[in-house]
Amino acid sequence: MKKKSLIIATIIVIIDQVLKIVIDNILSINESIQVIPDIFYITKVYNTGAAWSMFEGSGVLLIIIAIVAFFLLLKYQNVFVEKKRNTLAFALIYGGLVGNLIDRVIYGYVIDYLHIYIFGLSFPVFNLADMAIVIGFLLVIIAIIKGEEHDSK
Protein backbone atom coordinates (compact mmCIF):
# COMPACT_ATOMS: atom_id res chain seq x y z
CA MET A 1 0.00 0.00 0.00
CA LYS A 2 2.84 2.40 0.81
CA LYS A 3 4.47 2.06 -2.60
CA LYS A 4 1.21 2.92 -4.39
CA SER A 5 0.63 5.85 -2.02
CA LEU A 6 4.09 7.23 -2.74
CA ILE A 7 3.62 6.90 -6.53
CA ILE A 8 0.29 8.75 -6.36
CA ALA A 9 1.82 11.31 -3.98
CA THR A 10 4.61 11.98 -6.49
CA ILE A 11 2.02 12.70 -9.19
CA ILE A 12 0.23 15.09 -6.83
CA VAL A 13 3.51 16.88 -6.03
CA ILE A 14 4.30 17.29 -9.73
CA ILE A 15 0.84 18.71 -10.54
CA ASP A 16 0.99 20.97 -7.47
CA GLN A 17 4.41 22.34 -8.36
CA VAL A 18 3.53 22.89 -12.03
CA LEU A 19 0.39 24.81 -11.06
CA LYS A 20 2.33 26.94 -8.57
CA ILE A 21 5.03 27.74 -11.15
CA VAL A 22 2.42 28.72 -13.75
CA ILE A 23 0.49 30.90 -11.28
CA ASP A 24 3.70 32.48 -10.01
CA ASN A 25 4.75 33.35 -13.56
CA ILE A 26 1.46 34.73 -14.88
CA LEU A 27 0.17 36.71 -11.88
CA SER A 28 1.63 39.43 -9.72
CA ILE A 29 1.32 39.11 -5.95
CA ASN A 30 -2.33 39.64 -4.85
CA GLU A 31 -3.48 39.77 -8.50
CA SER A 32 -6.71 37.86 -9.25
CA ILE A 33 -8.35 36.22 -12.22
CA GLN A 34 -12.10 35.84 -11.95
CA VAL A 35 -13.19 32.28 -12.78
CA ILE A 36 -16.76 32.28 -11.43
CA PRO A 37 -17.99 35.79 -10.55
CA ASP A 38 -18.40 36.38 -6.80
CA ILE A 39 -17.49 32.74 -6.05
CA PHE A 40 -14.14 31.56 -7.37
CA TYR A 41 -10.94 33.42 -8.25
CA ILE A 42 -7.33 32.56 -8.90
CA THR A 43 -5.44 34.94 -6.59
CA LYS A 44 -1.69 34.70 -6.06
CA VAL A 45 -0.51 35.11 -2.48
CA TYR A 46 2.62 34.09 -0.62
CA ASN A 47 1.90 32.42 2.72
CA THR A 48 4.76 32.26 5.22
CA GLY A 49 2.52 30.54 7.76
CA ALA A 50 0.43 27.39 7.88
CA ALA A 51 -3.32 27.09 7.24
CA TRP A 52 -5.04 30.48 7.32
CA SER A 53 -1.59 32.07 7.83
CA MET A 54 -1.28 30.67 11.36
CA PHE A 55 2.30 30.59 12.63
CA GLU A 56 3.25 33.32 10.15
CA GLY A 57 7.00 33.60 9.81
CA SER A 58 7.71 30.24 11.50
CA GLY A 59 9.22 28.68 8.39
CA VAL A 60 11.85 26.48 10.02
CA LEU A 61 9.36 25.14 12.57
CA LEU A 62 6.84 24.38 9.81
CA ILE A 63 9.52 22.58 7.78
CA ILE A 64 10.43 20.44 10.79
CA ILE A 65 6.77 19.69 11.55
CA ALA A 66 6.14 18.66 7.91
CA ILE A 67 9.13 16.32 7.83
CA VAL A 68 8.24 14.71 11.18
CA ALA A 69 4.58 14.40 10.15
CA PHE A 70 5.56 12.74 6.86
CA PHE A 71 7.59 10.02 8.59
CA LEU A 72 5.04 9.49 11.36
CA LEU A 73 2.32 9.08 8.74
CA LEU A 74 4.46 6.55 6.84
CA LYS A 75 4.59 4.48 10.01
CA TYR A 76 0.91 5.09 10.88
CA GLN A 77 -0.24 3.96 7.43
CA ASN A 78 0.77 0.41 8.37
CA VAL A 79 -2.07 0.15 10.91
CA PHE A 80 -4.74 0.59 8.24
CA VAL A 81 -6.45 -2.13 6.24
CA GLU A 82 -5.24 -2.20 2.64
CA LYS A 83 -8.02 -0.51 0.67
CA LYS A 84 -7.96 1.82 -2.31
CA ARG A 85 -9.49 4.61 -0.24
CA ASN A 86 -6.81 4.30 2.45
CA THR A 87 -4.04 4.23 -0.16
CA LEU A 88 -5.49 7.38 -1.71
CA ALA A 89 -5.94 9.04 1.69
CA PHE A 90 -2.28 8.72 2.59
CA ALA A 91 -1.16 9.57 -0.96
CA LEU A 92 -3.10 12.83 -0.80
CA ILE A 93 -1.58 13.73 2.57
CA TYR A 94 1.96 12.84 1.49
CA GLY A 95 1.59 14.74 -1.78
CA GLY A 96 0.20 17.81 -0.06
CA LEU A 97 2.84 17.80 2.67
CA VAL A 98 5.69 17.45 0.19
CA GLY A 99 4.21 19.98 -2.25
CA ASN A 100 4.06 22.69 0.40
CA LEU A 101 7.37 21.57 1.94
CA ILE A 102 9.13 22.13 -1.38
CA ASP A 103 7.81 25.71 -1.46
CA ARG A 104 8.90 26.39 2.13
CA VAL A 105 12.41 25.05 1.54
CA ILE A 106 12.95 26.78 -1.84
CA TYR A 107 11.11 30.09 -1.34
CA GLY A 108 10.52 30.44 2.39
CA TYR A 109 6.75 30.62 1.76
CA VAL A 110 3.96 28.63 0.11
CA ILE A 111 2.37 29.83 -3.11
CA ASP A 112 -1.42 29.88 -2.66
CA TYR A 113 -3.85 30.68 -5.46
CA LEU A 114 -7.37 29.24 -4.97
CA HIS A 115 -9.70 31.89 -3.58
CA ILE A 116 -13.32 31.06 -2.72
CA TYR A 117 -16.16 33.37 -1.73
CA ILE A 118 -19.28 31.82 -0.21
CA PHE A 119 -22.25 33.99 0.70
CA GLY A 120 -20.02 37.01 0.19
CA LEU A 121 -17.43 35.77 2.68
CA SER A 122 -13.84 35.55 1.51
CA PHE A 123 -12.11 32.36 2.58
CA PRO A 124 -8.33 32.22 2.99
CA VAL A 125 -6.48 31.53 -0.25
CA PHE A 126 -5.20 27.96 -0.53
CA ASN A 127 -3.66 25.60 -3.08
CA LEU A 128 -3.89 22.06 -4.47
CA ALA A 129 -1.52 20.71 -1.80
CA ASP A 130 -3.76 22.14 0.94
CA MET A 131 -6.81 20.51 -0.66
CA ALA A 132 -4.98 17.19 -0.89
CA ILE A 133 -4.07 17.29 2.80
CA VAL A 134 -7.62 18.13 3.92
CA ILE A 135 -9.27 15.52 1.68
CA GLY A 136 -6.66 12.94 2.72
CA PHE A 137 -7.30 13.52 6.41
CA LEU A 138 -11.07 13.36 5.86
CA LEU A 139 -10.58 9.97 4.21
CA VAL A 140 -8.42 8.82 7.13
CA ILE A 141 -11.15 9.91 9.55
CA ILE A 142 -13.70 7.91 7.53
CA ALA A 143 -11.40 4.88 7.72
CA ILE A 144 -11.07 5.28 11.48
CA ILE A 145 -14.85 5.61 11.89
CA LYS A 146 -15.31 2.46 9.79
CA GLY A 147 -12.83 0.62 12.02
CA GLU A 148 -10.23 0.08 9.31
CA GLU A 149 -7.35 0.41 11.74
CA HIS A 150 -5.87 -2.76 13.14
CA ASP A 151 -3.25 -3.21 15.83
CA SER A 152 0.25 -2.39 14.67
CA LYS A 153 2.85 -5.06 15.26
Catalytic residues, by residue number, are 112, 130
First-to-last alpha carbon distance for the chain, in angstroms, is 16
Give me the amino acid identity at 112: D
CA 31 to chain centre: 22
Separation between Cα atoms, residue 100 and residue 55, nearest integer Å: 15
**39 sits in which H/E element:** none
Number of H helices, E strands in the chain: 4, 4
